[in-house]
């Protein structure tokens, strides 16, 4: 057996080899003094064997001493091992983690020692902090990012969203490196002005947020302070350039979540831009923001095709006489990544006003042609896809050439496509429309007049226009006026026009139209609009 001295040396060497910190406190009644610490304990706390015999209060002061004495004295009171899962930052910056304090009893049952085994979690915490930085900070500016805003800022009371007016010009003129340098400088100025009191976020691009977790009865004051950040010019490639900012402000009024506040701030920002830029606007729930929503849609529509946010749904056209599917109308749907499904009535007018309906229309035609190959293999070789055409598209000087080029590229014959127009479209510039429709019909396309009966159609117009199909508006079907419908079908027959009844929703309507020898049926009774892969078998 080894000499006791050698045994103690060997035991001390083994204790010093542990990664966990070992503290042995000698207990004399309620007084506790350091008896032994291993090297890991010394590294974590700075306490050495030279401190043996000192009390906690002789080694520490203030809250730290109170914290440590309470932990050890609890063991004296409870006389049982106690586990502490919480850690604490030591005065030297090290982070202690979970610790287990155990009493060591003497011969007479008194607690002679308390042993603490504590884990140093500094490295783990540093790694966790690094992961946090990667996940929640912007790489370029080191400000918080969008993810942090959405996941960690639940108690936000006010959002100030702003961007740099005409920032795109900097990238286009001086290059993206210069633009990045400006963004870094903006972040530095924001940190200098607001870091202590507010949360700073780079949302993306040149968009930034100053967020407050306290209510702001006078948000205008902070808005002016944000605009002051841009008072000094920015040095860009040796030149001093003045930049301005527009600000949208959203204030929590009820229980709005972060996405709602962000959308409100976004709307307010575009309102500020619409007022002439270099200004701010506070979102008001009762304010009419239609033109702002249109502006937002306009900007988003530009990216929608590139981001593949558009999709086509189809509503089938069924022939009661042939008892088969003879057509499918392509219906445009827009699923915005940040706003969900946008109804056509909300964005089609914007697309037409801005001219964006032209590239969107070409996308619809191309996609419908691509889908036609699968539709004909599923239903019938003679199936037609119906595509809606706007007056803006018809006025394009090379419209006919462009769509014929698309048909050729997608290997679809023109007779497989029916182009649908509304009455208002054909009335507008009727002579020019007649010429364009004549060229399309000569090329092999079928032409349909949609929503017939709701506008200002006249018999003379129907005889002049090169039309193949009339689509009776759903309002006539809903009224179930058999005499009127019969008269419309007789008139169409006299003009050699096929008729499709829209809005057929039940069996009674279907059988009435079948008895009237209506050429085509379309509506919820046949199928609700659905993506091609989700189309169900026709129930009739």
CATH number of the domain that residue 228 is part of: 3.30.70.270
Taking Cα atoms as reference points, which of 196, 224, 227 lies closest to residue 212? 196
Residue 300 structure tokens: 């988003």
pLDDT value at residue 344: 87
- Per the structure, the complete domain to which residue 366 belongs is given by 305-534
Q: Are 371 and 385 in contact (CB under 8 A)?
A: yes
pLDDT value at residue 331: 96
Query: Strands of 158-164's sheet, edge to edge?
Result: 199-204, 207-212, 158-164, 245-251, 280-282
Neighbours of 82 (CB within 10 A): 17
State which of 92, 124, 156 marks the end of a domain: 124
- Alpha-carbon Rg for the chain in angstroms: 38
Is 210 domain-assigned? yes
Is 275 domain-assigned? yes
Q: Which residue has the tokens 């909300």?
A: 346
Is 131 domain-assigned? no
User: Using alpha carbons only, what angle is made at residue 303 by residues 267 and 179, rounded to the nearest 5 degrees?
Assistant: 80
- Domain co-membership, 197 together with 104: no
Which pLDDT tens digit goes with each residue over 360-406? 999 999 999 999 999 999 998 899 999 999 888 988 889 999 999 99
Bridge partner list, 207:
204
Backbone phi and psi for residue 87, each to the nearest 5 degrees, phi listed first: -110, -175
Q: From CA 435, how far away is CA 423, in angstroms rounded?
A: 16
Q: Specify the length of the chain in residues.
A: 540
Which one-letter DSSP state was computed for residue 242?
-
For residue 3, is pLDDT > 80? no
Query: How many domains does one find in the chain?
Result: 3
Distances (CA, A) of 234 to 226, 237, 238, 243: 15, 10, 10, 7
Q: Are 292 and 270 in contact (CB under 8 A)?
A: yes
Q: From CA 270, how far away is CA 283, in angstroms rounded?
A: 11
- Domain co-membership, 325 together with 184: no
**What does the pLDDT average to over 152-172?**
87
- Domain co-membership, 397 together with 474: yes
Which one-letter DSSP state was computed for residue 233?
P
- Domain co-membership, 146 together with 183: yes
Is 45 domain-assigned? yes
For residue 429, is pLDDT > 60? no
**What does the pLDDT average to over 165-177?**
84
- Domain co-membership, 120 together with 142: no
Is 296 domain-assigned? no
- Domain co-membership, 252 together with 315: no
The stretches of 60-203 forming alpha helices (DSSP H) are 62-78, 122-136, 146-152, 167-174, 176-194
Q: Are 45 and 92 in contact (CB under 8 A)?
A: yes
Which pLDDT tens digit goes with each residue over 491-534? 999 999 999 999 999 999 999 999 999 999 999 999 999 999 99
For residue 274, is pLDDT > 90? no
Is 357 domain-assigned? yes
- Domain co-membership, 274 together with 184: yes
Where does the pLDDT of residue 1 fall: very low under 50, low under 70, confident under 90, or very high at 90 and above?
A: very low
pLDDT value at residue 396: 87
Q: What is the DSSP string of 271-319?
A: HHHHTTSS-EEE--TTS--HHHHHHHHHHHHHHHTTTT-EEEEEEEEEE
Neighbour-count burial for 417-444, b at 16+ CB within 10 Å, e otherwise: bbbbbbbebbbeeeeebeebbeebbeee
Neighbours of 95 (CB within 10 A): 17
State which of 60, 92, 124 marks the end of a domain: 124
Specify the pairing of strand 384-388 against strand 158-164.
unpaired
Is 295 domain-assigned? no
- Domain co-membership, 413 together with 516: yes
For residue 52, is pLDDT > 70? yes
Taking Cα atoms as reference points, which of 428, 431, 439, 470 lies closest to residue 452? 470
- Domain co-membership, 111 together with 247: no
pLDDT value at residue 131: 58
- Domain co-membership, 277 together with 379: no
Taking Cα atoms as reference points, which of 225, 285, 278, 275 lies closest to residue 252? 285
State which of 124, 157, 191 marks the end of a domain: 124
For residue 2, is pLDDT > 60? no
Which one-letter DSSP state was computed for residue 234?
E
Neighbours of 517 (CB within 10 A): 13
CATH number of the domain that residue 520 is part of: 3.20.20.450
Q: Which residue has the tokens 């870094």?
A: 184
Residue 533 structure tokens: 């892969």
Residue 124 structure tokens: 């783990």
Q: Is 313 left (phi over 0), alpha (psi -120 to 50) or beta?
A: beta
- Domain co-membership, 283 together with 327: no
Is 441 domain-assigned? yes
- Domain co-membership, 241 together with 365: no
Answer whether 0.85 is exceeded by the pTM. Answer: no
pLDDT value at residue 416: 97
pLDDT value at residue 471: 93
């Amino acid at each position: 057996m080894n000499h006791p001295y050698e045994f103690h040396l060997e035991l001390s060497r083994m204790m010093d080899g542990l990664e966990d910190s070992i503290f042995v406190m000698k207990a004399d009644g309620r007084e506790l003094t350091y008896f032994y610490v291993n090297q890991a304990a010394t590294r974590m706390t700075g306490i050495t064997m030279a401190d043996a015999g000192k009390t906690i209060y002789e080694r520490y002061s203030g809250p730290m001493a109170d914290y440590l004495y309470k932990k050890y004295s609890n063991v004296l009171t409870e006389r049982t091992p106690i586990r502490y899962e919480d850690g604490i930052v030591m005065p030297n910056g090290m982070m202690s983690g979970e610790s287990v304090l155990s009493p060591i009893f003497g011969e007479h049952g008194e607690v002679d020692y308390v042993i603490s085994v504590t884990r140093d979690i500094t490295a783990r915490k540093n790694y966790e902090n690094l992961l946090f930085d990667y996940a929640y900070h912007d790489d370029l500016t080191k400000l918080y990012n969008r993810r942090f805003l959405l996941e960690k800022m639940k108690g936000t009371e006010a959002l100030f969203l702003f961007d740099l007016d005409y920032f795109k010009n900097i990238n286009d003129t001086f290059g993206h490196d210069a633009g990045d340098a400006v963004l870094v400088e903006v972040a530095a100025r924001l940190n200098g002005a607001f870091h202590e009191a507010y949360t700073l976020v780079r949302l993306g691009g040149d968009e930034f947020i100053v967020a407050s977790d306290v209510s702001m009865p006078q948000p205008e004051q902070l808005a002016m302070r944000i605009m002051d950040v841009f008072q000094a010019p920015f040095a860009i490639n040796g030149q001093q350039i003045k930049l301005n900012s527009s600000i949208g402000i959203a204030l929590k009024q009820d229980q709005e979540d972060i996405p709602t506040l962000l959308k409100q701030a976004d709307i307010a920002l575009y309102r500020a831009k619409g007022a002439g830029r270099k200004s701010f606007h506070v979102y008001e729930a009762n304010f009419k923001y239609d033109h702002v929503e249109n502006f937002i849609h306009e900007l988003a529509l530009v990216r929608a095709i590139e981001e593949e946010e558009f999709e086509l749904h189809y509503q089938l056209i069924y022939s009661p006489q042939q008892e088969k599917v003879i057509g499918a109308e392509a219906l445009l749907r827009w699923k915005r990544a940040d706003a969900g499904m946008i109804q056509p009535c909300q964005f089609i007018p914007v697309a037409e006003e801005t001219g964006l309906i032209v590239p969107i229309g070409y996308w619809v035609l191309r996609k419908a042609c691509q889908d036609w190959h699968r539709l004909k293999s599923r239903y019938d070789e003679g199936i037609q896809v119906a595509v809606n055409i706007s007056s803006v598209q018809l006025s394009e000087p090379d419209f006919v050439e462009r769509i014929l080029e698309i048909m050729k590229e997608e290997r679809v014959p023109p007779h497989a496509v029916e182009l649908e127009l509304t009455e208002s479209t054909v009335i507008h510039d009727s002579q020019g429309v007649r010429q364009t429709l004549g060229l399309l019909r000569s090329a092999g396309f079928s032409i349909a007049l949609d929503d017939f009966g709701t506008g200002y159609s006249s018999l003379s117009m129907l005889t002049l226009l090169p039309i193949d199909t009339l689509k009776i508006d759903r309002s006539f079907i809903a009224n179930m006026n058999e005499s009127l419908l019969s008269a419309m079908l007789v008139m169409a027959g006299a003009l050699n026009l096929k008729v499709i009844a829209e809005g057929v929703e039940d069996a009674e309507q279907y059988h009435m139209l079948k008895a009237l020898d209506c050429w085509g049926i379309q509506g919820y009774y046949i199928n609700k609009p659905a993506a091609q892969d989700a189309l169900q078998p026709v129930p009739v």
